[in-house]
Structure 1
Amino acid sequence: MKIKKGFTLLEMLVVIGIIAILVTLGFASYSTVQKKARDSKRQSDLKVAQQIMEQCYSISSFVYPTISGTGTITATCTADPTVTFSITDPLDTGTYRYTYTQNYTITADLETSATDFIVSNQQ
């Protein structure tokens, strides 16, 4: 009687099933990490924009810079053209919104939260 070495069909299906489950879990985790990283970049960009807006406000006779653009928000201080910023959404989907009256608000849509991230004037 010969002894056959190898795996049965059932053993192979079980191993393939386990690998498929692990790949699915890994992909879901990776996707979540990417979303959190993009949200972190959005928040960081808005905080930098806020600092530059306030810097411009203090050096240009208490006037906030003019902001232009859709998708990419760009601002340049009229009193000092070297004070500038330009932010683009990590997905380039135009999720930044800017509103200005006497005060300003810059808003970013976050992927991992139902609420938006908002920065506004500190003056």
Structure 2
Amino acid sequence: MFSKKAFTLIELIVVIGIIGVLATLSMGSYANVQRGARDAKRKSDLKDIELALQQYYSDNSQFPPAGGCGYGSNCYVYSTAGASWIPALVSRYLDTVPVDPKNTAAGPWKTGNYSYAYGNVSSDGQSYDLTTQLENTIDKDRCELKNYRFYFDNRAWCTAFGGAYSNYIFERSPLTK
């Protein structure tokens, strides 16, 4: 008789099972890396927009109004409107205004809505809110830890502190530095 060297059926099943487990674990890790990369882009984009807003302020002694709204109207514009969603910044300060990597819904206030928001929050053009929502629910800059507040009455934004907005909001404004 001659002998054949081969894997048994049980050995093959075990190896396939191990490969399946490793593939599942790596896919979860890959998704976390993607979320982290999108959040890093969000923070970087808001920083770029903030720098353009500062340049606009240097030239005009006030920040630009949001869309067609006047100052003091507590009006917001959203990145879901496209690459010129803050028209006053396009061409002179930025070639295009960055948009959220997902850009799924106007207004980042509700959990799962991903966009950027720019709003007038003062009657004299001296302040603004620049806001997004983060995907990483344990990010150190999320509202749940930072406790962002409304400038006019100091009420909390996020639900962790009794507010109505997502705990995962990230905000940049002259008031939150």
TM-score when scaled to structure 2?
A: 0.61
List aligned pairs for 1:1-123, cutoff 5 A: 1-60=1-60, 62-68=61-67, 69-70=77-78, 71=80, 72=82, 73-77=85-89, 82-84=92-94, 86-94=97-105, 95-102=115-122, 103-113=127-137, 114-121=167-174
In 2: Cα distance, 1:48 partner to 1:6 partner: 60
Q: Which has the higher helix share?
A: 1
Structure 1 pair 20/81, CA: closer, same or farther in 2 (3 Å)? closer
Moved over 6 A (4+): none
* Superposed CA offset, 1:8-53 (max 9, x none): 0000000000000110011011100000000000000001111111
Identity percentage over the alignment?
A: 37
Pairwise CA distance, 1:76: 1.6
Pairwise CA distance, 1:81: 5.7
SS of 1:30's equivalent in the other structure is helix
Name the aligned partner's letter for residue 66 of structure 1. P
1:50·1:121 contact (CA, 8 Å) conserved in 2? no
Which consecutive unaligned segments of at least 5 residues does structure 1 have? none
SS of 1:108's equivalent in the other structure is strand
1:74·1:87 contact (CA, 8 Å) conserved in 2? no
TM-score when scaled to structure 1?
A: 0.84
In 1: Cα distance, 2:91 partner to 2:33 partner: 37
Deviates more, 1:68-77 or 1:87-96: 68-77
Aligned length: 119
Question: Higher RCO, 1 or 2 (CA under 8 Å, sep at least 6)?
Answer: 1
**How big is the alpha-carbon RMSD for the aligned residues of Structure 1 and Structure 2?**
2.1
> Bigger radius of gyration, 1 or 2?
1
* Superposed CA offset, 1:45-83 (max 9, x none): 0011111111111211x1211334531432425xx9612
In 1: Cα distance, 2:133 partner to 2:16 partner: 39
